[in-house]
Amino acid sequence: MRCIFASSNRKLKPVNKINVAELASLSKEEILELLQNVLSELHKLQAIVVKDPNQFSERLSLLSKLLFGQKKDVFKNKDNGQLELFPSSNEDGVTSEDLQIIDNKINELSKEIDRQTATQSEEKPTAQHISDTPANPVKKKSRIESLLRNSVLERKTTYLEVPDAVKENMVLVKEVVTEKIDRVSAKFFIHKIVQPIYAPKDGGSFVKPDYPEDQIEQATITPAFMSEIVSLKCEHHLPIDRMNKMFVTEGLKTSVNNIYNWFSSSVSHLEPLYASLVSMTLSQSYLQADESPIRLNGEGAKGKCHRGYMWYFNSPSSPFCFMKYGNGRGFNELEPVLRNFTGCLQSDGYSVYNKYAVETKNKVTLFRCWAHARRNFINAEDNHPEIAIKAVKIIDQLYKIEADCRKHKDQFKTDDEYYTYRQKQREKFSKPLIELLLKLLENTKSLVTPGLKIEQAIQYLLSDWNMFTNYLDNGKVEIDNNLVENLVRPLAIGRKNYLFAYKQMNAQLLAVAYSFMLSCKKADVNFKEWLTDVLPKIARVKKSEYINLLPHNWKIARTPAHVSDNT
């Protein structure tokens, strides 16, 4: 409740903070005015509810779900097959019998999909079915091995022995072996590198040994320490201040400003390589895009944070992805990045992507995300569960087809063969389901109240229907944008810890660091190990060789099989 003022000279506290003793001290006139103001506030609230009770209750329900509900996109109540709240007939819409027919059609298509996929699995038996040899018995793991989960750790053995005088006239029966997991704490030390310089006695140029290739000559910290700082910031979401406190416990007493400068200089070494990563990503024919906010301190008015955005670009069919910082979320931030891109672009329903596609004059084909469409119907469950549940059941069948396609991916020699197979499966199974969904939406859109979540969910799909159905004709494109949205998670966790980035320059450096961390994740490469090895090499290789230092190529070059193939 807002603060309420009486007409007397003194200022009254908010109503919810006035206790009985203070109420008793008020005069009759003050109490009457207080009650009048309370009634006035209640009338205002009542007017909001009366004006649009559906939207009020819907917003209240959605807020309760966000605060107290589960975060998964699932219905609170399962579909029990009952169709309620719909009239028995409606000339402008559909009857309950029509919805039952649609439900039966969904079940028929689902059974047909199961039959077809089962037949395909029988036609291509796995090696396990072909082999007549029994499988080797699985060796039971020790307690330590089960805890390690295939971790490869160095082993140190300590032998214990009883005194010779005690074990005299005794024979060894057995040894009791116990294993324990140990950890050596980090330790700081000074690495001194001495370079002797020689001058010829009869005059001439000086001579000195080459600087170690695993070090950066101008840096005050080693590449290993650089990678530690960048990893703690990006992989483990540690604020610089907390990092400083951790280093103090390990023996290094420095300042937050020093660590911030070390982080900035470390990532700055990656900028030439970052340009190569961006170029390789944009050269792909299929990209997914998304954006996520980040607060900036030190920009604009004093004491206020600027709201910037991290833009994500991911190539699902290749190991390339990158992030870029932008001051805003508008077209002027997106267009310079994708100016020379042509191909398929998948995103959510944000209008900037539509504008970009129009400006490119059909050089880019837009694809929408079915996960967003499904989520809208989940949120609309309280409005019209009959429509929402039917729509989600159809979309779930679309995802079931995609999951079955992924199960057969290993059977194809090339990605193009798999894409062709997936496109045919979509044509055969997904297309009838989508036609059924279109019929449901077209026939029910006139039954819903404008402005409610269910109406917004229907319009979200119908307004960009072609962009949602484009994936049927292109087996390379995923059904949703989830792969790029998964890349947003490290930043989402990080900004809860370090809260904001300091100035625009640091935000872009953060984008560079995250880009390589995510690229390492896609290539299944240890980020710290990659950084330690690559940082001193960037200044020593030619620009044309930068691509060899990108995580996926770096991993191939270090694979023994790769070395043996070239020998």
E strand map for 343-470: 343-346, 364-367
pLDDT at 504: 72
As a whole number of angstroms, the distance between CA 417 and CA 413 comes to 7
- Number of CB atoms found within 10 A of residue 519's CB: 23
Residue-level pLDDT, tens digit, the chain, 567 residues: 444 443 445 555 555 556 556 666 777 777 777 777 777 767 666 666 666 666 666 666 666 665 556 656 666 555 444 333 333 334 344 455 666 666 676 777 676 666 766 666 555 544 344 344 444 555 556 677 777 777 778 888 998 888 988 888 888 888 888 888 888 888 899 999 999 998 888 878 889 899 999 999 889 999 999 999 999 999 999 999 999 999 999 999 999 999 999 999 999 999 999 999 999 999 999 999 999 999 888 666 566 788 899 999 999 999 999 999 999 999 999 999 999 999 999 999 999 999 998 888 778 999 999 999 999 999 888 878 888 999 999 999 999 999 999 999 999 999 999 999 999 999 999 999 999 999 999 998 888 888 888 999 999 999 999 999 999 999 999 999 999 999 999 998 988 888 778 777 788 999 999 999 999 999 999 999 999 999 999 999 999 999 999 999 999 998 875 444 443
* pLDDT, tens digit (0-9, with 9 covering 90-100), for 312-330: 999 999 999 999 999 999 9
Q: How far apart, in whole angstroms, are the C-alpha atoms of residue 65 and residue 380?
A: 12
- Give, as one character, the DSSP assignment of residue 207: B
Question: Which three-class secondary structure state does DSSP give residue 198?
Answer: strand
| Distance separating alpha carbons of residues 156 and 405, to the nearest angstrom | 47
Task: Say what the pLDDT of residue 472 is.
Answer: 96
Tokens of 26: 């008020």
DSSP designation for 470: G
Taking CA 319 as the corner, what is the angle to CA 313 and CA 320, rounded to the nearest 5 degrees?
Answer: 35
Residues 6+ positions from 353 with CB-CB distance below 8 Å: 289, 334, 345, 347, 366
Question: What is the pLDDT at residue 59?
Answer: 62
Contact 294, 507 (CB under 8 A): yes
Q: Take residue 96 and report the two structure tokens written for it.
A: 């309950």
Torsion of CA 353, 355, 356, 361, to 10 degrees: 130
Terminus-to-terminus CA distance in the chain, angstroms?
79
Average pLDDT, the chain: 82
Q: What is the pLDDT of residue 49?
A: 61
At 394, the amino acid letter reads I
Using CA atoms, how far apart are residues 199 and 168, in angstroms rounded to an integer? 68
Angle CA(239)–CA(223)–CA(219) in degrees, nearest 5? 95
Pairing of strands 306-314, 321-326: antiparallel
Q: What is residue 480's DSSP assignment?
A: S
Please count the residues of the chain.
Answer: 567
Q: What is the pLDDT of residue 520?
A: 96
Location of structure tokens 């005059």: 203
